[in-house]
């Protein structure tokens, strides 16, 4: 698919998802329409034990808990890429306190509107939400102490550009903690071509090694995987795209889908290299 076609699919689908309930989103692949009756909570992890959690902002769309691992401090400025209804932003706001600042960026107007409404209900004045494409983050350079994101980069066609933008908007010595979906092995062509599963975070994912290499080649250091877990796609979702024989082959192959939470830092000082010091 062409880049604009992919973006239109994602924008349209997540406008619908903004109006869905959490249970529908959790029983599908990142809120895609392919809901499962086999299992509950395919990707999303439980936020309810984290301080700052607000149920109205939790649409069940994530694949990790990046804010739990993000080493956020009081007074920090945080950017959340793909902020949805504000779930990770409100967790981060609890960490930064009244003197900190949280900026949520989302591609979908319906999500931004929902997040703004949630922040207003909570009377949060140091949390803001902006409409924007994370391939061109609508934030000045060297603003953020920490960047978080939860199951979003897999939806973006140009992941290299996103990591360049993450580097640009982080302060020197800043860091990110990003949860995402990655692949280990080849995905079946029928799944790769399924627009529904692109919106559902699967088809847009890249190989784990390629993902980590993108981070390294964009100048980040101290890269580590903070958490990883396998993702199982139930058969009643797979049957929408694969035959019974293909499902059996898929389930017994070495191919894998994983959720990973990755940490990396922008160097504190990098001499006069223009690319590094952006």
Q: What is the DSSP string of 39-98?
A: -S-SS----TTSTT--GGG--S--SS-HHHHS---TT-EEEEES-TTSHHHHHHHHHH-T
Cα–Cα distance between 205 and 199 in angstroms, integer?
Answer: 11
Question: pLDDT tens for residues 190-232?
Answer: 776 665 565 555 667 889 999 999 999 999 999 999 999 888 8
How high is the pLDDT of residue 100?
A: 97
Question: What residue ranges do the domains of the chain occupy?
Answer: 3-264
Q: Taking 70 as the threshold, does the pLDDT of residue 148 lie above it?
A: yes
Average pLDDT, the chain: 84
Tell me the β-bridge partners of 103.
79, 128
Domain spanning 3-264 has what CATH number? 3.40.50.150
Question: pLDDT tens for residues 50-107?
Answer: 888 888 887 777 788 999 999 999 999 999 999 999 999 999 999 999 999 999 999 9
Question: pLDDT tens for residues 230-266?
Answer: 888 878 878 888 899 988 888 888 778 888 999 999 9
pLDDT bin (cut points 50, 70, 90) of residue 277 is: low
Give this prediction's pTM: 0.86
């Amino acid at each position: 698919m062409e880049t604009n076609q992919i973006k239109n699919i994602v924008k349209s689908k997540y406008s619908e998802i903004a109006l869905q309930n959490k249970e529908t989103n959790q029983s599908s692949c990142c809120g895609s329409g392919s809901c499962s009756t086999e299992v509950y909570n395919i990707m999303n992890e439980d936020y309810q034990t984290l301080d700052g959690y607000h149920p109205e902002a939790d649409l069940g769309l994530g694949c990790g808990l990046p804010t739990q691992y993000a080493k956020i401090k009081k007074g920090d400025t945080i950017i959340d890429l793909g902020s949805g209804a504000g779930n990770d932003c409100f967790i981060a706001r609890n960490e930064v306190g009244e003197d900190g600042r949280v900026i949520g960026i989302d591609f979908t107007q319906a999500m931004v509107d929902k997040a703004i409404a949630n922040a207003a209900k909570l009377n949060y004045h140091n949390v803001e939400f902006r409409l924007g494409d994370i391939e061109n983050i609508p934030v000045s350079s060297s603003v953020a102490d920490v960047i978080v994101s939860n199951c979003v980069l897999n939806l973006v066609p140009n992941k290299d550009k996103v990591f360049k933008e993450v580097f640009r908007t982080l302060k020197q010595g800043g860091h990110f903690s990003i949860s995402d979906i990655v692949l280990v092995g080849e995905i079946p062509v029928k799944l790769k071509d399924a627009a529904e599963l692109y919106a559902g975070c699967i088809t847009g994912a890249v190989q784990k090694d390629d993902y980590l290499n993108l981070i390294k080649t964009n100048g980040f250091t101290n890269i580590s995987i903070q958490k990883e877990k396998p993702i199982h796609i139930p058969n009643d979702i797979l049957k929408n795209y694969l035959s019974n024989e293909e499902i059996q082959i898929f389930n017994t192959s070495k191919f894998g889908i994983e959720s990973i939470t990755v940490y990396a830092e922008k160097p504190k000082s990098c001499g006069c290299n223009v690319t590094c010091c952006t």
